[in-house]
Amino acid sequence: MKFFVDTANIDDIRDLASTGLLDGVTTNPSLVAKSGKQFIPLIEEICSVVSGPVSAEVAATDYETMMKEGRKLAKIAKNIAVKVPLTPAGLKVCKNLSDDGTIVNVTLCFSPAQAILAAKAGAAFISPFVGRLDDIAQDGMQLIADIVQIYENYPQWDTEVLVASVRHPMHIVDSAKMGAHVVTCPPDVIKKLYSHPLTDKGLTAFVEDWKKTGQSIL
């Protein structure tokens, strides 16, 4: 499973990239606004830090403007994934950009039917939002299971399932068990994967026992 971080905070991205665990980055207009930085220079900087796909989202909603924005974003770096909404216009943009060799991430997916359309339009990634479905008392993880099952039936589709709106570590674990290709999470959720009370307890015991020996490795 690939790990993408869902943030526009360049410091968090640099920190996670240094661990070797980071495979890509996803951003959106809300995250960029939160960063307080100019969009294009920020995306350029992120692409220089991360070698994997960096999702940069179009701001328009009509086909013509989305195409212009998508082409401009694709020129920023070779690892740009142009992010488009799962709308009729967005899927048309996806088809045309994909045909030109651009990586496209289709976002705001909330049903298996939508995921089928994205794959047929040539999306490199489909981003189903599990947390937002959980918020309205629907089973977000069932959506992931359904999409993975459908995609496995059609090996000619190259679309990867990119689990988005991840709220906690179990979303990641369950996604991995289902066979999702990618998860994108806020930095704090990725860092929670390290945590287990027995790890902390065991390390404390090892440190205390080592001190009693009076020895030093260095």
Establish whether 192 is a catalytic residue.
no
Q: Which residue has the tokens 């959720």?
A: 189
From residue 12, how far is each of 6, 22, 185, 190 by CA, in Å?
Answer: 10, 11, 12, 11
Q: How far is CA 44 from the centre of its chain?
A: 18
DSSP letters for 184-202: EE-HHHHHHTT--HHHHHH
How far apart, in whole angstroms, are the C-alpha atoms of residue 95 and residue 78?
18
CB contact at 8 A, 93 and 85: no
User: Given the DSSP bridges, would you call strands 125-128 and 160-163 parallel, antiparallel or unpaired?
Assistant: parallel
Catalytic residue among 34, 68, 75, 83: 83
In eight-state DSSP terms, residue 134 is H
In eight-state DSSP terms, residue 218 is -
Q: Which residues contact 81 (CB under 8 A, 6 or more apart)?
A: 24, 53, 54, 55, 56, 103, 104, 105, 124, 125
Q: From 166, 160, 194, select the one nearest 179 (Cα to Cα).
A: 160
Residues with a known catalytic role: 83
